[in-house]
Amino acid sequence: NEVFVCVQAPSKKQQSKPDEIIVGSSIGTLRVLNIERHTLVTTIDAAHRGTIHQVAFANDGKRVASCSED
């Protein structure tokens, strides 16, 4: 079963995407969600081979970074 393990919202400096959050899961999937519209923006399946432990938006709000044990 997939468990969502980490969530990151943009900081106040990253206002280009203020309504989006990144969600990392226990099966290595990343999702970007629009929290205002309650919609899925994009999914990156198999971003990692295992649990994603940390996610973050880049300072420009256009890219994301994630880390896992792989």
DSSP string, 8-67: E---TT-TTSTTEEEEEETTS-EEEEETTTTEEEEEETTSSSS-EEEEEE-TTSS-EEEE
Q: Give the model's pLDDT for residue 10.
A: 63
For the chain, 70 residues long, give each residue's pLDDT as a single digit of tens.
777 777 776 666 555 566 888 888 888 999 989 888 999 999 989 889 889 888 888 877 778 889 998 8
Domain residue extents for the chain: 4-68
pTM of the model: 0.74
Q: Give the model's pLDDT for residue 12.
A: 60
Q: Give the model's pLDDT for residue 39.
A: 95
